[in-house]
């Protein structure tokens, strides 16, 4: 699952059980390409994350990650949903991210998905 929030973008997937052989559906990796996005999440949810370390792996597709029980992520995702108070997501981001890099990336995703919609409408 990809989740784009005011605080950053996260790729959420099962952690690995028994090394790297079997997905553990009770434990999730909340991954990000930007450490600041996970730091924002940790600042937003200090009690739920309870000081969990942000892991870094320069060889991984997503360099930064938090490992959390699935129920922790469910609580966080529910709260993120409850705090939606905007009509335009991209415009809400600037108050939480000091740089324009994340907003620019969001515009690129928006543009790619808009292009997909147009292609499907044309039947291509």
pLDDT in tens, 71-116: 999 999 999 999 999 999 988 886 665 668 888 899 999 999 999 9
Q: What gap in Å lies between CA 12 and CA 1, rounded to an integer? A: 5
Q: What is the mean pLDDT of residues 9-28?
A: 90
In a 13 Å sphere around the CA of 107, the CA atoms on its Cβ side amount to 7
Q: Calculate the CA 116 to chain-centre distance.
A: 22
Q: pLDDT of 23-46, one tens digit each?
A: 999 999 999 999 999 999 999 999
Nearest to 49 by CA among 21, 34, 30, 26: 30
Q: What gap in Å lies between CA 29 and CA 15, rounded to an integer? A: 5
Q: What is the mean pLDDT of residues 55-63?
A: 95
Q: Calculate the CA 72 to chain-centre distance.
A: 14
pLDDT at residue 22 above 70?
yes
Count how many domains the chain has: 1
Q: For residue 82, what are the domain limits?
A: 2-122
């Amino acid at each position: 699952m990809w989740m784009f929030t005011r605080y950053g973008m996260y790729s959420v997937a099962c952690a690995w059980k028994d090394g790297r052989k079997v997905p553990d559906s009770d434990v999730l990796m909340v991954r990000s390409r930007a450490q600041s996005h996970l730091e924002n999440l940790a600042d937003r949810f200090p009690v739920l994350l309870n000081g969990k370390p942000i892991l870094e792996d320069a060889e991984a597709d997503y360099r930064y990650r938090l490992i959390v029980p699935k129920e922790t992520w469910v609580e966080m995702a529910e709260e993120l949903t409850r705090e939606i108070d905007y009509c335009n997501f991209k415009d809400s981001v600037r108050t939480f991210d000091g740089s324009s890099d994340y907003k620019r990336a969001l515009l690129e995703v928006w543009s790619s998905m808009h292009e997909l919609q147009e292609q499907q409408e044309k039947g291509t």
